[in-house]
């Protein structure tokens, strides 16, 4: 008899279920270690199908094929991982580029670049808006102002552009680049003479030194100002100047005035010589004025011989004429002029009573005092 493994009740032989709990009886043969040893010895002596598979030598071609397939599978997995990593990298790169592009477009540099592109396409209003946005972001930086005034010039509003540029250099007087933008504006507008006026307002010497290329020295004259009693010549010079322009008619000189190419002849009277120097950038200096007054001396009344009186017999009337002068005379008592008879040599005294009047004309057309002689020839 056996016992139920579940409730412990005795189960009669031949029964398959416990009479108490109904649990199924499992029939397990008794274990005999000798049976296992014997089976092992017999299995080792007489190989069965499993024994033959374990002891059979592997096929070299199959082994090589297996290794190749394994290596291919490994490489395929590696390629797949690399493609996945590359794809992820590209996605991150595209995302970073997109974010960077958006940030760049709204940055100062991006706005200036977009404004310049719009300007190049003749889209001046759009360019002006972009440059103004850039100026608001960085009001002391120069590049946006350069684009701003170019757009304003294209729109025909140089006056507003000049006003804004003058305001910004006044607000940031230590920013050399802003002055350079203003000066280039004047050059582009062909009003470079304004640069000298702006330079005069700069109090910071360090700033002026950095703008020395725009500071053109005024011309100097070889002749001191003043009064002269003879015809004069004056020469002009200016250090580092490409050209000098001048006027003598009272108007302000410019690059359209007469270009200096040699000594200037000063005529009688007052002459106001005004000149400017222009450097190789086309920038003009301040106007420099020189005043000269030339009063040429006039010969005294002509010396005439003989003196007034009565004369008998033939007499010759002689007039001393200075070099360069012309003598004119009348014989009827009227005042002589350049329209009167010209004295060309001694005159024979006519008979009777005659009043001679003589005058000298200087090379510049001035008349001297008159000399009168009353002759009576018997």
pLDDT score at 1 = 65
Asked if 243 and 326 sit in the same domain, the reply is no
pLDDT tens digits, 102-137: 788 889 999 999 999 999 999 999 999 999 999 999
Query: What is the spatial distance between Cα 235 and Cα 263, in angstroms, rounded to a whole number?
Result: 5
Asked if 346 and 365 sit in the same domain, the reply is yes
Asked if 202 and 127 sit in the same domain, the reply is yes
Asked if 113 and 150 sit in the same domain, the reply is yes
Asked if 279 and 343 sit in the same domain, the reply is no
Does 46 score more than 70 pLDDT?
A: no
Query: What is the spatial distance between Cα 251 and Cα 33, in angstroms, rounded to a whole number?
Result: 138
Average confidence (pLDDT) over 367-373: 94
Six-digit token string for 321: 């004429």
Average confidence (pLDDT) over 188-204: 92
Percentage of the chain exceeding pLDDT 70: 90
Asked if 193 and 234 sit in the same domain, the reply is no
Identify the weakest region by mean pLDDT among 43-57, 70-84, 180-194, 251-265: 43-57
Domain ranges, residue 271:
220-294
Q: Is residue 13 part of a domain?
A: no
> 275 near 236, Cβ under 8 Å?
yes
Six-digit token string for 103: 């940030």
Contacts of 290 (CB under 8 A, 6+ apart): 221, 223, 225, 234, 272, 273, 274, 275
Query: What is the spatial distance between Cα 194 and Cα 243, in angstroms, rounded to a whole number?
Result: 18
Average model confidence (pLDDT) across the chain: 87
Last residue of a domain, one of 294, 319, 345: 294
Does 360 score more than 80 pLDDT?
A: yes
Q: Is residue 50 part of a domain?
A: no
Q: Is residue 146 part of a domain?
A: yes
Query: What is the spatial distance between Cα 272 and Cα 292, in angstroms, rounded to a whole number?
Result: 6
Q: Is residue 97 part of a domain?
A: no
Q: Which helix (H) or strand (E) holds 277?
A: strand 269-278
Does 230 score more than 90 pLDDT?
A: no
Asked if 112 and 181 sit in the same domain, the reply is yes
Identify the weakest region by mean pLDDT among 8-12, 106-110, 304-308, 356-360: 8-12
DSSP 311-324: E-S--EEEEE--TT
Q: Is residue 180 part of a domain?
A: yes
Count: domains in the chain: 3
DSSP state of 81: H
Asked if 339 and 371 sit in the same domain, the reply is yes
Up-side HSE of residue 375: CA atoms within 13 Å toward CB? 25
Q: Is residue 356 part of a domain?
A: yes
pLDDT score at 13 = 74
Asked if 130 and 179 sit in the same domain, the reply is yes
Asked if 194 and 225 sit in the same domain, the reply is no
Return the CATH number at 372: 2.60.40.10
Query: What is the spatial distance between Cα 195 and Cα 181, in angstroms, rounded to a whole number?
Result: 11
Return the CATH number at 142: 1.25.40.10
Last residue of a domain, one of 247, 273, 294: 294
pLDDT score at 45 = 45
pLDDT tens digits, 249-274: 999 999 999 999 999 999 888 999 99
Percentage of the chain exceeding pLDDT 90: 63
Q: Rounded to two decimals, what is the model's pTM?
A: 0.56
Q: Is residue 198 part of a domain?
A: yes
Q: Is residue 33 part of a domain?
A: no
Last residue of a domain, one of 294, 312, 345: 294
Asked if 262 and 323 sit in the same domain, the reply is no
Identify the weakest region by mean pLDDT among 18-32, 87-101, 235-249, 274-288: 18-32
pLDDT score at 12 = 75
Query: What is the spatial distance between Cα 318 and Cα 327, in angstroms, rounded to a whole number?
Result: 11
Where on the phi/psi map is residue 78: left (φ > 0), alpha (ψ -120 to 50), or beta? alpha
Asked if 261 and 310 sit in the same domain, the reply is no
């Amino acid at each position: 008899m056996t016992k139920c493994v579940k409730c412990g009740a005795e189960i009669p032989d031949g029964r398959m279920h416990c009479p108490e709990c109904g649990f199924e009886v499992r029939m397990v043969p008794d274990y005999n270690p000798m049976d296992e040893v014997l089976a092992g010895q017999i299995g080792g002596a007489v190989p069965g199908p499993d024994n033959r598979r374990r002891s059979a030598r592997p096929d070299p071609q199959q082994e090589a094929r297996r290794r190749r397939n394994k290596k291919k599978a490994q490489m395929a997995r590696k390629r797949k991982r690399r493609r996945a990593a590359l794809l992820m990298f590209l996605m991150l790169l595209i995302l970073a580029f997109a974010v960077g592009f958006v940030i760049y477009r709204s940055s100062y540099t991006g706005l200036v670049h977009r404004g310049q592109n719009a300007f190049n396409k003749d889209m001046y209003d759009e360019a002006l808006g972009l440059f103004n946005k850039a100026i608001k972001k960085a009001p002391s930086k120069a590049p946006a102002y350069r684009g701003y005034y170019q757009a304003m010039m294209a729109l025909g509003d140089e006056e507003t552009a000049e006003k804004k540029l003058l305001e910004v250099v006044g607000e940031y007087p230590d920013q050399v680049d802003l002055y350079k933008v203003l000066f280039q504006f004047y050059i582009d507008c062909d009003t470079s003479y304004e640069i000298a006026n702006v330079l005069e307002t700069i109090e910071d010497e360090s700033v002026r030194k950095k703008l020395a290329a725009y500071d053109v020295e005024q011309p100097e004259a070889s002749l001191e100002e003043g009064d002269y009693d003879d015809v004069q010549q004056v020469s002009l010079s200016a250090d580092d100047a490409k050209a000098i322009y001048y006027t003598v008619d009272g108007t302000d000189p410019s690059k359209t005035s007469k270009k200096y190419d040699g000594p200037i002849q000063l005529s009688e009277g007052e002459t106001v010589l005004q000149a400017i120097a222009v450097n190789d950038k086309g920038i003009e200096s301040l106007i420099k004025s020189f005043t000269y007054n030339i009063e040429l001396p006039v010969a005294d009344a002509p010396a005439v011989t003989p003196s007034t009186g009565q004369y008998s017999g033939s007499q010759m009337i002689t007039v001393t004429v200075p070099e360069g002068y012309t003598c004119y005379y009348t014989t009827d008592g009227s005042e002589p002029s350049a329209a009167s008879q010209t004295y060309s040599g001694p005159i024979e005294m006519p008979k009777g009573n005659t009043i001679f009047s003589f005058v000298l004309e200087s090379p510049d057309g001035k008349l001297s005092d008159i000399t009168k002689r009353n002759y009576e020839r018997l």
